[in-house]
Amino acid sequence: MKALTYRYKLKAKSKSLDERTSPELVLAEISGAFANKVDGIIKYKKFQYSLEVSVLPKYFGIVREKRGAFNFVYDPATVKANEKYNKLFRNKITDFESNIETAATHFKNQEPSAEEVKNYLLSISGREKRKPEETFVILNFLNVHISHLENLIGSARKDEVKDTTINSYRNLIPIIKRYQEAKKIKLTFEKLNEELYREIWEVVNDIRTGKIKIDSYQQKEKKAFATNTLKAYQTYFIQLCKVAKKQGIKIPLDLTDTNLINVAEKNKSEKTEAFLKENDILKIIEYVPTSKYLELAKKYILIASQTGMRLQSMQEAKGRTIQICNENTNIFYYIHTIQAKTGTECYTPLFSTALKIIKKNDDTFPDFSNIALTNLNNNIRKVLKSVEIENSHLFSTHNLRSSFVSNLSLLRLSEKVISYVTHPAKKSSSSSVHIYDRRDMLDKAKMFVEEVNWISKIKSSKLYTFN
């Protein structure tokens, strides 16, 4: 490579010399044998390299005319005469010229391009790694992540998740939007430290309780989020941050800190303790709905309280055909249920009331997927209020699963047998026998039916019967 040549120049802020009274950036224009052949014509390139220092033009050089234009031209004597103003500039020159010599040695006996020389200079000066900080808005990333998960549905990939999991991410959208509206900022990962993280939950709680008012949230003041509700929001928020971090996004928050997520509490409030007794459910059987949503809520109450199924299991079972076990001592109908929450499945025997509802639906499980959870809970409470159930306002879909377990327990059905249809993956904590248990789902369904039939001879039930 031929010798590198360079000259210093200023990045002028004005064409008028009289107006150039503030510091200007110093550039080095570097040239050499950087040949570039285009259409058979050889052209020589040069490039500019910033010294990352600014000086006043009058301390940089002298005014000279070139091609009818006047400009400040670098003059070592002028720089030296104004040394007290140019200490940093002189240091930058020393560093630059040392790097030029290093580059010349590095490319000896080579024919590098102008771009290669420039990149090498940036590298040895430690400047190639300086990239502008990118800003990632959390809400934008969340929406993209949700779309990604939605596209995976039905793909059979390992990272495919259930729609219920995607809903947990969707639930974060209003949380983030409310915080941003209250604080008049956009949440970004780069600024997410522990102080900001804690503030998010405080602010959204204050919005919920009415301490902070925003235009988009005009609902009646409510109690602060329950500990377990907040825990659910925080769990998926932290999970989102972990996804972002895997993609190389910088997040100051220590995502390994277990204290970032609220500890779940065993909530013994009236709301979680409420369940429908057998006589309450018998009243609902006689109830006549006045709208399609009330009809759906009635069906939900009766099926859930007779199967112990979670909402997501009932939504997943839509359109599934019921099956029959027809053996000498075991004749009963059942439905194949899948528990997305625990990743398990079982055969759930159908008591008479639930069976009648499904048979009227062409022997297929009803569709509970086209109603929002809030709407479903509201209509469940309306049905309960109509038949004068005490504390009807406390009930939600979860209480109906509790009703199934509680009523069978009152009939003296063993917890172990009840768990065959409510917690099929539940293992005994006092024995290792479960390791060798090879009973299939139908065997366990038969055992459930047999115990119910045996118990009914001792303590009869009008509701929990297979007749």
pLDDT for 291: 93
The whole-number pLDDT of residue 37 equals 57
Q: Is pLDDT above 50 for 430?
A: no
Residue 344 pLDDT exceeds 50: yes
Q: What local confidence, expressed as pLDDT, does residue 328 receive?
A: 73
Closest CA to 302 of 284, 286, 320: 284
Q: 314-325 pLDDT, tens per residue?
A: 988 999 999 999
Residues 254 and 371 in one domain: no
Last residue in a domain, options 217, 251, 266: 266
For residue 237, how many other CB atoms are within 10 A of its CB? 22
CA-atom Rg of the chain in angstroms: 37
Nearest partner of 334 among 345, 320, 346, 323, judged by Cα:
323
For residue 399, tell me if it sits in a domain: yes
Could you give the CA distance from residue 207 to residue 175 in angstroms, rounded to a whole number?
10
Q: Are residues 79 and 191 in the same domain?
A: no
Residues in a beta bridge with 43: 36
C-beta of residue 31 within 8 angstroms of C-beta of residue 113: no
Residues 276 and 304 in one domain: yes
Q: Is the dihedral of CA 348, 352, 358, 363 positive or negative?
A: positive
pLDDT of 261 higher than 50? yes
Q: End of a domain among 210, 239, 266?
A: 266
| The amino acid at 254 | D
Shared-domain flag, residues 386 and 344: yes
Residue 351 has pLDDT above 80, yes or no: yes
Residue 465 lies in a domain: no
Give me the residues paired with residue 37 across strands. 42
Give the Cα separation of 282 and 286 in Å (integer). Answer: 7
Q: What is the mean pLDDT of residues 421-430?
A: 60
Amino acid in position 16: S
Mean pLDDT of 297-303: 96
pLDDT digits (tens, 9 = 90+) for 162-216: 888 999 999 999 999 999 999 999 999 999 998 899 899 999 999 999 889 999 8
Asked if 453 and 395 sit in the same domain, the reply is yes
- pLDDT recorded at residue 289: 92
Q: 3-state SS of 335-347? A: EEEEECCCCEEEE
> Which amino acid is present at 315?
Q
Same domain, 77 and 23: yes
Quick one: 177 and 218 in the same domain?
Answer: yes
For the cut 90, the answer to whether the pLDDT of residue 281 exceeds it is yes
- Round to whole Å and give the CA distance between 181 and 452: 55
Same domain (yes/no): 336, 226: no
Q: Would you say residue 33 has pLDDT above 70?
A: no
Mean pLDDT of the chain: 86
280 with 262, same domain: the answer is no
pLDDT of 228 reads 84
240 plus 294 within the same structural domain: no
Q: Which residue in 203, 207, 424, 226 sits closest to 313, CA to CA?
A: 424
Predicted TM-score (pTM) of this structure:
0.47
Range of the domain at 31: 5-124
CATH code at 351? 1.10.443.10
User: Same structural domain for residues 148 and 94?
Assistant: no
List C-alpha distances in Å: 12 to 21, 68, 73, 83.
10, 17, 11, 21
Q: How confident is the model at residue 151 (pLDDT cuts 50, 70, 90)?
A: confident
Q: Is the pLDDT of residue 429 over 60?
A: no
On the CB side of 193, CA atoms within 13 Å amount to 2
Which stretch of DSSP H or E encloses residue 1? none
